[in-house]
C-alpha cells in the first residue's frame, strides 16, 4: 500500500521507543484498454485507482538500530468506473483495518537525518468492507455478481524492504 499511497510519516522519538503516524492518499491512472488505428495511431482509455493509508505505529529499540514495530493501520482502495458485464461500470471501494508487526533498522545521524528500513512487515486483518456502486449502465444480477466475485480473497497488506529517509528535529 505504501507504493500506491505514498504516505508521509511523522515520528516522536524517545530513548528506547518511538511513536509515529503515517498517512497518504494518491490517485494513479492505469491503462484500461488500448486500440490502434492506421489513421490516428494508438488511443487509450484509462481507469483510476485511489489508495489511502493511515497508520499509528510504535517502534521499540532493544539494541542499537534494530527495532520492532507494532501498529494499527487503515487502508482503502477506490476504483472508479470499473468495468463489469453488459457495458456497466461500477465504483468500487475496499477498506480494511489491520494490526501490523515488523522488524527493521533505523540509523540516525548527528545532523538529524535518518535512514530506515523495515525488512519485514506483516499484517493481521481485523475488519474489511467492500462496496460496489453502479456508475453507468443498467445493473443486472449477473453484472453485480461479476464485480463482487471472491472479495474474501483480499488479504492483509504486508511488505518487505520498505525504505524510509527523513530528518528529525
List pLDDT tens digits, range 45-54: 788 889 999 9
Q: Where are the beta strands (DSSP E) in the chain?
A: 8-13, 17-37, 41-63, 66-83, 89-108, 113-136, 159-167
List pLDDT tens digits, range 2-33: 777 888 888 888 888 989 999 999 998 887 77
Residues in the chain: 169
The answer on pLDDT for 124 being more than 70 is yes
DSSP 151: G
**H helices of 65-107, where?**
none
Burial of residue 20 (CB within 10 Å: 0-12, 13-18, 19+) is middle
Amino acid at each position: 500500500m505504501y507504493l500506491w499511497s505514498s504516505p508521509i510519516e511523522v515520528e516522536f522519538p524517545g530513548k528506547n521507543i518511538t511513536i509515529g503516524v503515517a498517512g497518504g492518499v494518491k490517485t494513479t491512472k492505469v491503462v484500461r484498454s488500448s486500440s490502434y488505428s492506421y489513421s490516428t495511431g494508438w488511443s487509450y482509455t484509462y481507469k483510476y485507482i485511489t489508495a489511502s493509508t493511515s497508520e499509528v505505529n510504535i517502534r521499540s529499540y532493544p539494541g542499537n538500530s534494530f527495532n520492532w514495530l507494532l501498529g494499527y493501520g487503515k487502508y482503502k482502495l477506490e476504483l472508479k468506473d470499473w468495468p463489469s458485464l453488459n457495458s456497466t461500470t461500477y465504483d468500487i471501494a475496499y477498506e480494511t483495518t489491520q494490526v501490523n508487526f515488523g522488524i527493521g533498522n533505523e540509523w540516525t545521524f548527528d545532523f538529524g537525518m535518518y535512514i530506515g528500513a523495515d525488512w519485514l512487515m506483516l499484517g493481521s486483518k481485523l475488519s474489511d468492507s467492500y462496496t460496489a456502486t453502479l456508475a453507468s449502465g443498467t445493473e443486472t444480477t449477473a453484472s453485480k455478481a461479476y464485480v463482487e466475485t471472491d472479495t474474501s480473497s483480499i488479504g492483509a497488506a504486508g511488505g518487505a524492504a520498505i525504505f524510509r529517509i527523513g530528518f528529525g528535529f
